[in-house]
Amino acid sequence: MKEKYTYPVYSLAVILLIFVAGCSIPSENQTQETVAVTHTPIPPDMTCSIFSKTAAYAYNGSAFTFNQKNPPMFINYTVIPKNVTVNRVYTDTNTKQTRTLTYSDYSSSSWFEVTVRDNATREIVFQDGFGESKGYPLYLSRTLKVLKSGDLIVELQGNDIRASVTIWVKPHGNFDESRMSEFTSCMNWEGNRDTLATAVPTTIQGAIYTWTPENQIIQ
C-alpha cells in the first residue's frame, strides 16, 4: 500500500524544485548587468547644456570661452525688456477730434546682444540679439546656431533688460567619452528650436573690446 504514494510525492518534490529555481533572486552581478542594459546612452547628435546664466543688464556684459571641436553650438535665450507707457496723439478720422491712445511697449533703450568671436583673432563670426535700436528683431525667445569650430569666446551684453541664456553643445566630440554621465540636461535642438537666427559672417568694425571670461569650460 505504501508504494502507491511514493511516485506522487517524488513528482511533487520535483515540481517544487523547478518552481523555486524559476523564482530565485538574481545575484548582484546579474542585477548590475540588467541596469547596464537599460541605461540609455547619449545619441551622437544630441546636444547638452554646458552653461546657464540669468542676469539683469545695464550697459554691462560678460563672456566665457569654449573650444568647439564638434559643431554646432546652440545659444538659447529668453529676454524680459523694460516696458514703458506710450501716449500717442492722433486725429479721429470720423469725428476729426484729437485723441490720445495710451499703451505699453518695449523701451527703445532695451537691447540684448550675443557676439561670438574667434578667441585668437577677435574676428566676429556670429552676432545677433534683441532690440530695434541695435537693428535686431523683437523676439522674446530665440535660438542662435553657431557652426564655427575652434576656440570661441561668447560675449553677452545688454541694457535695460533681463536675459536667461543657456548654451548647448554635443558632448560627443567635444568632451572625453568617460564624461558622458555628467550630462543630465540634453535635447535635440534641431527639431525644437524657437525662432532661429542663421549665422552671417561679419568683420570687426570700430573698437575691439577686451573681455574677461567669467567661465571657461574645461574639456
At 112-159, the pLDDT tens digits run 999 999 999 999 999 999 999 999 999 999 999 999 999 999 999 999
Q: Would the pTM count as exceeding 0.85?
A: no
Q: What is the pLDDT of residue 66?
A: 96
Domain check: are 186 and 135 in the same one? yes
Question: Which class for 51: exposed (0-12), middle (13-18), buried (19 or more C-beta within 10 A)?
Answer: middle
The reply to whether 64 and 132 lie within a common domain is yes
Write out the H or E segment, with its range, that includes residue 114. strand 111-118
| Closest to 130 measured CA to CA, from 147, 145, 108 | 108
Contact 146, 201 (CB under 8 A): no
Domain that holds residue 8: 2-36
Task: List beta partners, residue 126.
Answer: 116
- Do 53 and 105 fall within a single domain? yes
Whole-number mean pLDDT of the chain? 77
Q: Which of 160, 56, 152 is nearest to 144 (CA)?
A: 152
Please give the pLDDT value at position 191.
67
Do the beta carbons of residue 154 and residue 167 sit within 8 Å?
yes
3-state secondary structure 145-160: EECCCEEEEEEEEEEE
DSSP 171: S
63-102 pLDDT per residue, tens: 999 999 999 999 999 999 999 888 888 888 888 888 888 8
Same domain assignment for residues 31 and 106: no
Q: Are 163 and 107 in a shared domain?
A: yes
All three cell numbers of 205, joined, read 568694425
108 and 12 within one domain: no
- 67 and 162 in a common domain: yes
- CA 41 to CA 127: how far, in whole Å? 34
Cα-Cα end-to-end distance for the chain: 82
Residues 32 and 121 occupy one common structural domain: no
User: CB–CB of 136/163 below 8 Å?
Assistant: no
- Grid coordinates given for 115: 557676439
Q: What is the pLDDT of residues 174-193, one digit of tens each?
A: 999 999 999 999 998 876 66
Q: How many domains are contained in the chain?
A: 2
* pLDDT for res 57: 96
Q: Could you tell me if 14 and 65 lie in one domain?
A: no
Of 20, 208, 22, which is closest to residue 117 (Cα–Cα)?
208
Task: Kindly give the pairing relationship between strand 195-197 and strand 141-146.
Answer: parallel
